[in-house]
Amino acid sequence: MSPRLILFPVPLSQAPGSPADVMPARNIELLSEVRHFVVENLRSARRFLRSAIPDFPIDDCTFSELNRHTRPEDIAAMLEPMSRGFDMGVISEAGCPAVADPGADVVALAQRKGYEVVPLVGPSSILMALMASGFNGQSFAFAGYLPVDDAARASRLKEMQRRIIREGQTQIFIETPYRNNRLIASLCETLPSDMLLCVASDITGPDQSIVTLPIARWRGRKYNYDKIPTIFLLHKN
């Protein structure tokens, strides 16, 4: 058997509840056989392993941390256990690894080396927000964070509006959670009244809320998404 790089999703929310609520039993079965990991955060990865498999032999495992502090030249050595024939796992801080986190670098390395890469099913706030928004899922774009600078942000939002109108492309983005309320206020100021805004908050968590309304209705609405992980989606009416 040639070694596999297996991408293990983890729960999104800090909510009580077991990993089995948001991932297939097969993930846990595969996890039980892996002893070598690339993780975004060592502490949260260990917490996940213990919650998924209470008697997981963590002391018999190797872990490499891959996050924004990692030097690019240190990534190459992380797949060394695969060169000895071992499967490896990638675990990010939340959700699906290698989407909007540094795990993509080690996946790219595995692809260059010709290793098999196996993605598993798990919670993705981007995808679940899109499903529940009612917006066009045949054409959509995720842009990560909007620019912080006011002029750059305004120009990015203009370009997004063009792509919504011309291409029917749903626009998806995120914000640092403590700025969520300010972002909605600023969208209400700058976007046309009939544009639809979906705010998808605490997905899979106890306060999950996914609300699609025209900008005109958001203007008069009371909301508080302060410090709650939230995804924003725009589309036309």
Residue 84 Cβ, how far from its own copies at the closest point, in Å?
22
Contact in structure between 114 and 24 (CB atoms under 8 Å): no
Measure the CA–CA gap between 193 and 128, rounded to whole angstroms.
25
Supply the minimum distance, in Å, between the C-beta of residue 209 and its own copies: 8
Closest CA to 24 of 120, 142, 136: 120
Q: Are strands 196-201 and 230-235 parallel, antiparallel or unpaired?
A: antiparallel
Q: In terms of CB distance, is 57 or 194 closer to its own copies?
A: 194
Q: Least Å distance between CB 159 and its own copies?
A: 9
Q: Which CB, 20 or 76, lies closer to its own copies? A: 20
Q: Which is nearer to its own copies, 57 or 131 (CB)?
A: 131
Cα→Cα distances 60→24, 33, 53, 92, Å: 25, 12, 14, 20
Structure tokens at 41: 């955060």
Do residues 66 and 14 touch, judged by C-beta distance below 8 A? no
Q: Which residues bind its own copies (CB under 8 A)?
A: 7, 20-26, 96-101, 104-105, 107-112, 117-124, 126-144, 169, 198, 203-204, 208, 210-213
Task: For tokens 């600078």, name the residue.
Answer: 149
Long-range contacts of 181-186 (CB under 8 A, 24+ apart): 181/223, 181/224, 181/225, 181/226, 183/146, 183/232, 184/218, 184/223, 184/225, 184/232, 186/153
Name the minimum Å distance from CB 210 to its own copies. Answer: 6
Nearer to its own copies, 47 or 221 (CB): 221
The minimum distance between CB 120 and its own copies, in angstroms, equals: 8
CB of 192 to its own copies, least distance (A): 18
Between residues 94 and 110, which has the closer beta carbon with respect to its own copies?
A: 110
Q: Which residue, 188 or 211, is less far from its own copies as judged by CB?
A: 211
CB of 59 to its own copies, least distance (A): 29
User: Residue 49 or residue 203: which is nearer to its own copies going by CB?
Assistant: 203
Tell me the C-alpha to C-alpha distance, in Å, between residue 79 and each of 4, 76, 94, 151, 226: 10, 7, 22, 42, 39
Structure tokens at 44: 């949260």
